[in-house]
Amino acid sequence: MGVMNIRTEVKQPEASIPGSAHRHPNLFLRFAKNVRKDIQFILILLPVLIYYIIFHYVPMYGLLIAFKDFQPMKGILGSEWIGFQNFSEFFDSIYFWRLLRNTVLLSLYSLIWGFPVPIIFALMLNELKERFFKKAVQTISYLPHFISLVVVVGMIVTFTSPLDGVINIFLGWFGIGPINFLSEPGWFRTIYVSSGIWQSFGWGSIIYLAAIAGINPQLYEAAEMDGARRWGKIRHVTLPGIMPTIIILFILNFGQLMDVGFEKVLLLYNPATYETGDIIGTFVYRRGVLNAEYGYAAAVGLFNNAINVCLLLTANYLSRKVSETSLW
């Protein structure tokens, strides 16, 4: 996600713009004139637009298979329509509520605990004066982002081993008995969320650092003159300055609540931790292993996306009401 450009629209009275003393009566001509004016921007945008149309919008008709008993030989149109049967099969599972709860909670905890960390980190980095140290810390903080997920999980398994893992040895110094972290449901969310934060906060802070760099330094000087010290400056200049960025990113993250990292859960969980670790994605995966049920998987995916869209709309609406910033 790049930095979203929040444009504030300023309406100009039409009479003051030369050449537009009258509006073209013809809508098409007006459209053509606007296009000609912005033609360079449109050309740059065109490849991306085409990409999205071809690869993201056109395939949407495939969603139909969620409502059908999809047989590849018959094709999408030829397969039998079964309405909401796939959905009801999914909702009828005794584990449906648990799966929903686990999916939402994992995401929610990641968001609540993980969202502030890159921000705080960026703020702290911004306060560093010693350039070399600052660069070094920044670079080191990026590194975990590049480690493959499988390797990270391997590290987690090794570190949390009840027999000779680092964490349990450390706990042993305080007389705390070895904890079988990965086999106890109570620990699953903590491990999932904290390892995710460790891996992403450095890289995530980049966007905030960029936003901070965009704040007018004169504002800081003005604050200084008004008697603000370090904390005051952060609170009254920096934070408000990057607030639009924070809000936009929050909305976007909120709209991905149902997309919990399937691969990471798959690698970390096992039947002993199904209670907190089994999410919608992993359940459907296990079902898919028995039979390639494309219709069923599509139905669950559609369900996930529907929830995500609702969340996105809600977050955007709330944000527009509460602040001046919103995605649209």
Partner 1 sequence: MSMKKAYMVILSTVMALTATLTACSNPSGKDDASGKGGSAGEAKGTEGQQPVLTGVELSYGTADNYYAPKSLTSGLPVWNEIEKKTGIRIKWDVTPSAQYADTMKLRLAAGQNLPDMISIPEPDPVNLAQKGLIIPLDDLIAKYAPNIQRYFKASPDVAKAMRAPDGKLYALSSDVTGTAYADPYGLLIRQDWLEKLGLQEPKTLDDWYNVLKAFKERDPNGNGKADEIPLSPEANLRGLGLFGSALGLHLFYSEGFYPDKNGKIQYQWMDERAHQLILWLNKLYKEGLIDPQFMTNTDTEVTSGITRNIIGVTNHFINNTNRFNAAQKAAGVNASWQIALPPSGDGYKGFYEKYGPISGWHAITKDSKHPEAAIKWFDYVYGSKEGEMYMNFGIEGQSYKMVNGEPQFTDWTSHNPEGLSFNEALRSLGAMPTVAWIRSATDTSLPNQMPAILKQDPYLQKQADKVKNVLQDSLLYMIGLPTLEESKQTAKLMTDIKTYQDETLSKFILGQTPIDWSKFVNTLKSLGIDQIIRNKQAQYDRFHQK
CA atoms of 325 and 186, how far apart (whole Å): 38
CA atoms of 325 and 306, how far apart (whole Å): 24
> What binding mask, one character per residue, do residues 284-323 give for partner 1 by CB under 8 A, x or -?
--xx-xxxxxx-----------------------------
Q: CB under 8 A: which stretch of 123-131, 192-200, 231-239, 279-287 binds partner 1?
A: 279-287
CA atoms of 81 and 75, how far apart (whole Å): 12
> What binding mask, one character per residue, do residues 85-124 give for partner 1 by CB under 8 A, x or -?
----x---xxx-----------------------------
Nearer to partner 1, 60 or 73 (CB): 73
Q: Least distance from C-beta 295 to partner 1, angstroms?
A: 11
> What binding mask, one character per residue, do residues 18-57 give for partner 1 by CB under 8 A, x or -?
----------------------------------------
> What binding mask, one character per residue, do residues 142-161 give for partner 1 by CB under 8 A, x or -?
---------------x---x
Does 78 participate in binding partner 1 (rule CB under 8 A)? no
CB-based contact 87:63 (threshold 8 Å):
no
Residues in contact with partner 1 by the rule CB under 8 A: 71-75, 89, 93-95, 157, 161-164, 178, 180, 182-185, 270-272, 274-275, 278, 283, 286-287, 289-294
